[in-house]
A = this chain, B = another copy of it.
Amino acid sequence: MSPKEKKGEITINDIAKELNISPSTVSRALNDNAKISEATKNKVKAVAKDLGYELNLVASSLSKNKTNVIGVIIPHLGSQFFAKALSGIQEVARDNGYNVIISQTNESVQQEVEMTRVMNSARVDGLVCCLTMETDNVDHFNVFVKKSIPVAMFDRVSYAVPGPKIVVDNYEAGYVATEHLINLGCKRIAHLAGAVSSKVFEERSEGFKDALKKNSLPLLSQFLLSSDLTEQDARDAVRLWMNLPQRPDGIVAASASSGLIIASAVKAMGIKLPEELSIISLGNERCNEFVTPSLSAVDMPGYEMGKAAVTQLIKCINDGVTDSSITLKPIQLLIRNSSFKH
């Protein structure tokens, strides 16, 4: 094995030796530095290609004190909303020359804290994250704030951390969905809400309530349920509502998956959708098109949120951290067969 192959890695020094010039010239040539003559650049590039040289990003990062890496911390990788968001994140990052390293918290605050530590160690140039449901203390982001490493948050955000926030107008989502049911003639609308501690779900609830109020419809206390939106929660809610003497004639589900479960549970009870009951969910999944009846939904633009988050993040990386806050609209109302004109 010749010494050149020992490490299997070609460096700028190899190129330099080959051409009898200095490594600094090689570096500058490869980076298209204006001070290097075209002739030299061409020679260098040719040899680089010849030898199969590929920039060592690790070394480059160290000396430039910039990694060109964006860290992503999200609750799950497996769920549709986040998968979409991640896809958007990765695309924009790639287009701007950034790599992205990922991590999932599984809704555990402890994991979230741990992951910020890892991201810090990796010296990411920026962070995009969606907080855990339980996160209220956000001190673990201080490391980044102190170093002016921008942190962009989307969906579940905290205004206690400076940096871009990308959210959808959850209030409007709740409002629009509810109003849609009202326009169809529903009079007794129920809402399965998410944990009150979460801004996202609180706002959706507010939108729901205001839509009722604006339309002079009463809000029955049993018709507004808060939960963790687990499968069991959804089933319990359905059981409770459907055993009421006065059943609801419309349901607004706070999440895509709870909507799906509610619809399925209701159907299992033999209740006719949408004739006896209209359903709409806040958050759309591909499923919604395929179930019978297809499920109306307010679309939450995960992909767009991901893109927007990174776009803003990169702006901050380049121009310094700012507090830009983007509320994505319009939220698309997808009217399908689960909501019906009474």
A62-80 toward B: CB 8 Å interface, digit per residue (1/0)? 1001010100000011111
Q: How far is the CA of A307 from the CA of B87 in the complex (A)?
A: 21
Stretch at the interface among A120-128, A165-173, A318-326: A120-128
Min distance, Cβ A268 to any Cβ of chain B, angstroms: 11
The answer to whether A267 has its CB under 8 Å from any CB of chain B is yes
Hey, which chain B residues are within 8 Å of A69, CB to CB?
A: 101
Q: Are A104 and B77 in contact (CB under 8 A)?
A: no
A285-316 toward B: CB 8 Å interface, digit per residue (1/0)? 11101111000000000010000000000000
Q: How far is the CA of A258 from the CA of B84 in the complex (A)?
A: 20
The answer to whether A61 has its CB under 8 Å from any CB of chain B is yes
Q: Are A87 and B94 in contact (CB under 8 A)?
A: no
Closest B residue to A293 using CB positions: B292
Q: How far is the CA of A287 from the CA of B287 in the complex (A)?
A: 5
Hey, which chain B residues are within 8 Å of A79, CB to CB?
A: 83
Hey, which chain B residues are within 8 Å of A80, CB to CB?
A: 78, 80, 83
For A61, give its contact among B58, B91, B285 (CB under 8 Å). Answer: B58
Q: What are 16 contact pairs spanning A and B, CB under 8 A?
A: A54-B121, A56-B121, A56-B123, A58-B122, A77-B87, A79-B83, A80-B80, A90-B104, A91-B104, A99-B118, A102-B102, A267-B292, A285-B287, A286-B287, A287-B291, A290-B290
